[in-house]
């Protein structure tokens, strides 16, 4: 199966991609992971990406697409892959289509995880992180045993700046402006499906499997 997972920050698409990848033994490919891998391996594109990041600049589309292209060419992706959070723009989607067509391949399905905006804000703004060991909690769904204290190491939990409600709202606005048009792009190509991302992780995963089974992908 060759899949793309779409959805705003906080909808849980990364978690679902990890579960599906583990069950069906397909690589999960996220832009952040492969960018860091390319930088670590000091590939030509990785060095170009690092130069941009060191200057606080966005990594250009051409570099991101190039790194994705290199990843998809690896033997581990021959039997299928799950793209998590890529493409982010219609331009990147068009580039991805071209890359796959050059290999006589196509996407089997693009899955959009839909969660009400208010719920996304609640999920993200409720996160609390441990600055010492990196553990993550949630004030509602996964609270620490002692309020404000990390269960693992006893450090005081903090709310990251990008998890504050006003920052989350800004991130969602950027998503809706830049990435949401992908929904229309893939719907026009009759490859888009939507999964309700609300509820427990197990419930969402069950819906995802049912969708893929209905499409003959599992």
Query: Which amino acids are annotated catalytic?
Result: 13, 88, 127, 160, 171
Phi then psi dihedrals of residue 118, to 5 deg = -60, -35
Phi then psi dihedrals of residue 104, to 5 deg = 55, 40
Q: Which two tokens stand for residue 54?
A: 């060191």
**Counting Cβ atoms within 10 Å, is residue 56 exposed (0-12), middle (13-18) or buried (19+)?**
exposed
Q: Are 197 and 113 in contact (CB under 8 A)?
A: yes
The residue with tokens 């000091």 is 42
Q: Cα(172)–Cα(122) distance, rounded to whole angstroms?
A: 12
User: Cβ neighbours of residue 62 under 8 Å, at least 6 residues apart?
Assistant: none
Q: Cα(31)–Cα(26) distance, rounded to whole angstroms?
A: 16
């Amino acid at each position: 199966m060759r899949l793309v997972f779409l959805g705003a920050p906080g909808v849980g698409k990364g978690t679902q991609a990890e579960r599906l990848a583990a069950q069906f033994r397909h690589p999960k490919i996220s832009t952040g992971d492969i960018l860091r891998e390319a930088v670590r391996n000091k590939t030509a594109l990785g060095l170009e990406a690092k130069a941009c990041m060191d200057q606080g600049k966005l990594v250009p589309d051409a570099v991101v697409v190039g790194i994705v292209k290199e990843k998809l060419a690896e033997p581990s992706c021959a039997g299928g892959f799950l793209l998590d959070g890529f493409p982010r723009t219609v331009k990147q989607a068009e580039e991805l289509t071209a890359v796959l067509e050059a290999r006589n391949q196509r996407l089997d399905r693009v899955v959009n995880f839909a969660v009400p905006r208010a719920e996304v804000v609640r999920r993200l703004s409720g996160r609390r992180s441990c600055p010492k060991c990196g553990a993550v909690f949630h004030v509602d769904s996964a609270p620490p045993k002692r309020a404000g204290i990390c269960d693992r190491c006893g450090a005081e939990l903090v709310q990251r700046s990008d998890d504050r409600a006003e920052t989350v709202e800004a991130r969602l606005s950027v998503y809706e402006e830049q990435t949401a048009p992908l929904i229309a792009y893939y719907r026009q190509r009759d490859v888009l499906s939507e999964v309700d991302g609300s509820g427990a992780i197990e419930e969402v995963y069950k819906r995802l499997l049912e969708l893929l089974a209905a499409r003959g992908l599992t």
